[in-house]
Amino acid sequence: MTRVKRGVISLKRRRKILKYTKGFRFGAKSKERLAKERLLHAWSHAFRDRRTKKREFRKLWQLKINAGLKPFEISYSKFINRLKKNSIKLDRKILSQIAEFHPKIFQEIVKSIQ
């Protein structure tokens, strides 16, 4: 029977795991078992926080729109409701950018719904 030299695949697997842990601290970047554990946590946090990021940005956009509406003495909820009734289809991201960087255009939008 011919001799089978093993270890090529397992070494590849170890190197792949350690490649992902580049930049980790202490043993997590060099020890296989600890690296696997840290990667499992890191990937689960990354998955969770991709969804959290969307929530956080939506909150930020709402705050910016609300701050832009202060001088016009109209609440955020009434503003959004009137936008929908007048079928002005601008999403919150665009509205917040307009409110922050182009206040004159935002003023025109508010006047058009009143």
Residue 2 falls inside a structural domain:
no
Residue 5 lies in a domain: no
**Domain extent at residue 52:** 10-113
Q: How many folded domains does the chain comprise? A: 1
The answer to whether residue 24 is domain-embedded is yes
For the segment 5-19, what is each residue's pLDDT rounded down to a tens digit? 888 989 999 999 999
Residue whose structure tokens are 């058009």: 112
**CATH number for the domain that contains residue 41:** 1.10.1900.20
Whether 4 is in a domain gets the answer no
CA angle 108, 111, 114 (to 5 degrees): 155
Asked if the structure places residue 95 within a domain, the reply is yes
In a domain, residue 16? The reply is yes
Q: What percent of the chain has pLDDT over 70?
A: 100
Residue closest to 35 by CA, chosen among 52, 19, 56: 19
pTM to 2 decimal places? 0.76
